[in-house]
A and B are shown apart, each in its own frame.
Chain A
Amino acid sequence: AQTVTQSQPEMSVQEAETVTLSCTYDTSENNYYLFWYKQPPSRQMILVIRQEAYKQQNATENRFSVNFQKAAKSFSLKISDSQLGDTAMYFCAFSFSGGYNKLIFGAGTRLAVHP
């Protein structure tokens, strides 16, 4: 069975600093997708970044970037120039490339950005 592990239940960072959230996953599949979702106190789930496993280039979205290590089954999220609005729960998630697009989530990392 596929699993997603986020080993850091909580993290904190100073405003304008850089923070990296860890995620590892386990699968025997070769084609899949990985995601980071942000859940602020409003409870809304917001897609932060998406990575296709067949692409070697790491995905970036403005201040957010990933370090995708396929052989190590690692998918970490780097947030640069952290802002107070980045305070949220962050979930790593995995989906097969075929089938019904079921997302498998990690337990989440609660990130606090301090002024």
Chain B
Amino acid sequence: NAGVTQTPKFRVLKTGQSMTLLCAQDMNHEYMYWYRQDPGMGLRLIHYSVGEGTTAKGEVPDGYNVSRLKKQNFLLGLESAAPSQTSVYFCASSGTGRVYGYTFGSGTRLTVV
């Protein structure tokens, strides 16, 4: 099925370890986003991209880096994981023009111990 694919779905990291979350979309969407979801706080924007080779900071960017070398992929990196980064991470994409809402991936549950 067409859509947004996130890998991995679950991961446990030790404090200080690094990892990369991969997001891939096959809808030729220009815009891609990374959100984190924490209890009682909804979804908060970490970083976003408006096109290949571009990235921008969202609401909670500290401790994360992103790259969009190809239009269909948007990577989220944690260089030195901290327990505060324990969360569920969602990738989403959207097209330009009229706002129809996002297509979301299925999420990655990350636990930092």
Q: Which A residues are within 8 Å of any B CB, using their own CB?
A: 4, 9, 33, 35, 37, 42-45, 47, 50, 91, 93, 95-97, 100-108
Which B residues touch A107, using CB under 8 A?
40-42
Instruction: Say yes or no: is B64 at the interface (Cβ < 8 Å to chain A).
Output: no
Knowing that A100-B48, A104-B45 touch, tell me 12 more A-B residue pairs with CB under 8 angstroms.
A33-B101, A35-B101, A42-B106, A43-B109, A100-B50, A101-B31, A102-B33, A102-B45, A103-B92, A106-B42, A107-B40, A108-B40
The B interface is mostly helix, strand or loop, or mixed, namely strand
Instruction: Say yes or no: is B43 at the interface (Cβ < 8 Å to chain A).
Output: yes
Which B residues touch A9, using CB under 8 A?
40
Which of B33, B48, B90, B99: most chain A Cβ within 10 A?
Answer: B99
Q: Which B residues are within 8 Å of any A CB, using their own CB?
A: 31, 33, 35, 40-45, 48, 50, 56, 58, 88, 90, 92, 94, 99-102, 104, 106-107, 109
Contact B94 A101 (CB under 8 A): yes
Contact A33 B43 (CB under 8 A): no
Cβ-closest chain B residue relative to A9: B40
Cβ-closest chain A residue relative to B90: A45
The complex places the Cα of A9 from the Cα of B39 at a distance, in Å, of: 11
Contact A100 B31 (CB under 8 A): yes
Cβ-closest chain A residue relative to B104: A45
The complex places the Cα of A92 from the Cα of B45 at a distance, in Å, of: 15
Which of B44, B94, B101: most chain A Cβ within 10 A?
Answer: B101
Minimum CB–CB distance from A109 to chain B (whole Å) comes to: 10
Contact B99 A105 (CB under 8 A): no
Q: Which 6 A-B pairs rank lowest in CB-CB distance, beginning with the nearest?
A: A105-B42, A45-B104, A105-B43, A33-B99, A107-B42, A43-B107
Contact A91 B106 (CB under 8 A): no
* Residue in contact with A91 in the complex, picked from B43, B58, B88, B94, CB distance below 8 Å: B43
